[in-house]
Amino acid sequence: MDPDAAPCVLVAMPQVGRALALAVMLPTLACQRPTATLELPPSPAPVVARAHAAALADGIPSTDVVACAVELDGDGEVRIGGQASGVLVDVDLAPRVRAYPWDHETILLAIGRARPGAIAAPEQVGRLYKVVCERPRAWVELVGLEQADFAWAELSLDRRWLYFSYAGVGVLDFAAWDWAQLTEPRTLSSCWAREDGYVADDFVIGRIGDSALIVQSGGPCGYEAEWEGEAMVIDGIREDELPFRRKRAFVSFVVADAKGRLWVGDGGQCSVPEAVHTRGHAGLWRSDDAGEQWTFVPIMPGHVARGFVGVWSRASAPEQLLARAECCHTAAADYCEGGELFASHDGGASWSEVSPRLAQADPDAFGPVDRLVVDASAWTIDVHLRGDAGDLALHSSDGGHTWKSLSIGPERDGTASREVDLGRWHFEPGLEGLVRIDLHEPLAAPTVVLRPGP
């Protein structure tokens, strides 16, 4: 650190008890400017801390552009604008380094956990720094807050607020130079090792407009390797709304068949970092009119609703379909659960399971499809399965109804279509649902035409 840099620090005190949740805690005074109250909507147990702010921290970010890039080199040194900062981070932790805009010469900088499920954290976690790009060795620590992770955070559109990861979600008000707990953390009850449940951590991983945040919510269960988590949305984060949690709506793929029908699946949440739960439906959505109306096509009645991550339509016969269910890992599972393959010969009116492990003498000795490649023109499928006594590579030339052994299976997993052009429309998964863009009016705002929901 630069000895000439005199940091003014907002030091957070420990959280107060429930009965005193409305009490004000006065941390150590670092500078001499009076504080303003952080105006937030009421919550079940708001916890507010007020502090005197520094002249260095006065005001809000004046630009959306990050003035200089921040990265770690191979030795774990933080480089700012390509220059060495002298700050070293344990590279074995693979920490997340994040820069936020301040002005055309200055950035805000945070170092945090590599991913939501990471137990170990770098020593700089919970601190937010201010750095002038041309002075990479002069770091000013603006905020120090235990339990926070500012490397997982999002700015509001007007840049007044920084929503950061906390027990629940915290919000830092640059204008008032104050912070508060925006939402209470949720209690997880799915952990087998803790009958009374435990408090989940919330990691901010995205923002939907200026009114909602996407968070990865979860925590360790039993052993450090067992993580219970899922993607959620915190709505109503504006000043005039009451924040509340809900399950995240998700779309994993969109496909158009030769008849011009759209097929959409809402699996894929297990692919979100540290997510082991999915809220998908046991089927697909189909639209025959370019997204104006949608019909739910059930596939797995009675099965766990894991959602689907792929559907393929035979190029020469679009009534023939292959669908792949999501595969999710759970605690102490040898293989992920799910991953079934289903085939239809009548455009989705009826389905039969064609998972290749079912054709084996001991189906339980093999996990679900690990890798899959579909040729829609030839209507062939190559798969790879992991097994207790060895792996299998299999091939089908009839859409999965019969299988034969291969010497070498697919090297990588084939992916379903993530975007489709159909007539004047472009379709792709958005942050929350399927988005449609008018190709004739490229400057028009995208429209969400399908929001599957939990």
Q: pLDDT per residue over 241-269, tens digit each?
A: 889 888 888 899 999 999 999 999 988 87
The Cα-based distances of 100 to 1, 6, 146, 337 in angstroms read: 20, 21, 20, 39
Nearest-angstrom CA–CA distance, 226 and 329: 10
Give the pTM. Answer: 0.74
Span 93-145, pLDDT tens digits: 999 999 999 999 999 999 999 988 788 899 999 999 999 999 999 999 999 99
Reduce the DSSP state of residue 55 to 3 states and report it. helix
Span 77-91, pLDDT tens digits: 999 999 999 999 998
* Residue type for position 218: G
Is the Cβ–Cβ distance between 273 and 216 less than 8 Å? yes
Q: Which of 198, 186, 170, 156 is nearest to 247 (CA)?
A: 186
Task: Give the least confident one: 166-175, 304-313, 389-398.
Answer: 304-313
* Residue type for position 240: D
Q: Could you tell me whether strands 10-11 and 139-144 are parallel, antiparallel, or unpaired per DSSP bridges?
A: parallel
> For residue 189, is pLDDT > 90?
no
Nearest-angstrom CA–CA distance, 301 and 450: 22
3-state secondary structure 158-212: CCCEEEEEECEEEEEECCCCEEEEEECCCEECCCCCCCCCEECEEEEEEEECCCE
* Residue type for position 14: P
The Cα-based distances of 348 to 344, 345, 422 in angstroms read: 6, 7, 20
Q: Parse the chain into domains and list their residue ranges.
A: 10-183, 253-405
